[in-house]
Structure 1
Amino acid sequence: MRSDMILVALGANLPGPDGAPPAVTLTRAVAALEALPGLRRVTLSRFWQTPSEPPGSPDYVNAVLRLAGEVEPVALLAATQAIEAAAGRIRPWLNAPRTLDLDLIAIGDLLRAAPDPILPHPRAHLRRFVLVPLAEVAPDWRHPVTGATAAEMLALLAPVAMRPLVV
């Protein structure tokens, strides 16, 4: 499937296996995603520092990458999971701290209820740490189910203390 709106959310709050800080891990993940056959970078949001949930873990670094190109959703999911594994991602429990998290937010206006990947991402509209950087890279994107923009979805969420990072 060809799309000029492939949205991937990136997040990390633990050092990589080599001790690299989360921002470096995200930069490496962006390079790995850009290197996938048939894809090219359109734009990358700023990196955002976001408080961890639940509290007590290190803060997250979050961003959204907008790609364009030819992609099959299942193949892209497999590629993102391989990139996560290469960055030392383990999944001991739901919402555990992580070295790298890559979530497919949307591929154009594709609707996919099953099998994985579910598109658009079923919880993206509830996550300020996704919507803030998403609004930077795709301000005109509309959720294919609700029709809302990132700014409209953000207006419905409680504030969270996020700040842009200089990397």
Structure 2
Amino acid sequence: MGVESALVAIGANLPRAGGGGPIETCRWALERLGAIPRMRVAAVSSWWESAPIPPDPNSPPFVNGVALLEGETTPEALLAALHAIEDEAGRQRPYPNAPRVLDLDLIDLGGRVREAPGPVLPHPRAHLRAFVLKPLAEVAPGWVHPVLKAPVAALVADVEDQAIRRLDSAPGGGA
């Protein structure tokens, strides 16, 4: 196990109990990511606002970003740490794609490709989501999808029709 880079998508669209709105929850999660043993936050994207996918008129917009982590970990250990942060935030999973207090997705870990056991790497839907790709392009502009062999810029071009807007231009900054 050596030093690796991990791309973690951060998203929220419901307030956290006692923690303010979704952007505050995303910032809170970023602090927790920095506390994962043997990992450090190397870069953080801007925060973005996006419509839920699939569309849900009863769901508020999401705040999204991507953090680039570096350090020593395994896919299982990192996924367990992400789930622990989600649980600490009060994440509920009542049904697929439900509105959520916090969503942390492991997008890529050192370019690994794996289907089983979980986590699946790279994330199986990351290449279809502007809310992942646009912030990912900010922190890892040279990233190439390990399965599709497509650079992030080409993947971003494929999702230009998805509703998303930058909330700020400072990495991890305020709206």
TM-score above 0.5: yes
Give the structure 2 partner of residue 150 of structure 1: 152
**1:118-137 alignment runs, 5 A limit:** 118-137=120-139
The residue type equivalent to 2:134 in the other structure is: V
CA distance, structure 2, for counterparts of residue 19 and residue 76 of structure 1: 24
Q: Decide which moves more: 52-61 or 121-130.
A: 52-61
Q: Could you say which residue in structure 1 is the equivalent of 2:2?
A: 2
Give the paired residue count. Answer: 167
Q: In the TM superposition, what are the counterparts of 1:17-36 in structure 2 within 5 Å?
A: 17-36=17-36
Residues 10, 26 of structure 1: 8 Å contact kept: yes
Q: Tell me the alpha carbon deviations over residues 59-118 of structure 1, each in whole angstroms, 9 at most, x when there is no partner.
A: 000000001100111011111001001111000000000000000000011111111111
How far does residue 19 in structure 1 lie from its aligned partner after superposition? Answer: 4.8
User: TM-score of the superposition, structure 1-length normalised?
Assistant: 0.95
* Of 152-161 and 121-130, the range deviating more from structure 2: 152-161
In the TM superposition, what is the alpha-carbon distance from 1:3 to its structure 2 partner?
3.9
Instruction: Please give the secondary structure, in 1, of the residue aligned with 2:56.
Output: coil
8 Å CA contact 1:43–1:65 kept in 2: the answer is: yes
**Counterpart for residue 99 of structure 2:** 97
> How far apart, CA to CA, are the structure 1 residues paired with 2:47 and 2:167?
5
Query: What SS does the aligned partner of 2:76 have?
Result: helix
> What is the match of residue 64 of structure 1?
66
Consecutive unaligned residues of structure 1, counting only runs of 5 or more, are none
Deviation, 1:16, is 0.4
**Matches of 2:20 and 2:36, distance apart in 1:** 22
Which of residues 80, 94, 109 is equivalent to 2:111? 109
**Percent identical across equivalent pairs?**
51
Q: 1:23-69 CA distances to partner (integer Å, 9 max, x unpaired)? A: 11111111111111111111000000111232321100000000110
2:41 is the alignment partner of 1:41 = yes
Helix, strand or coil at the partner of 2:144: coil
Point out where structure 2 has 5 or more consecutive residues left out of the alignment.
Answer: 169-173
Structure 1: distance between partners of 2:72 and 2:88: 23
Change (3 A) 1:155 1:3: farther
CA contact (8 A) 1:3 1:107 kept: no
Partner of 1:55: 56
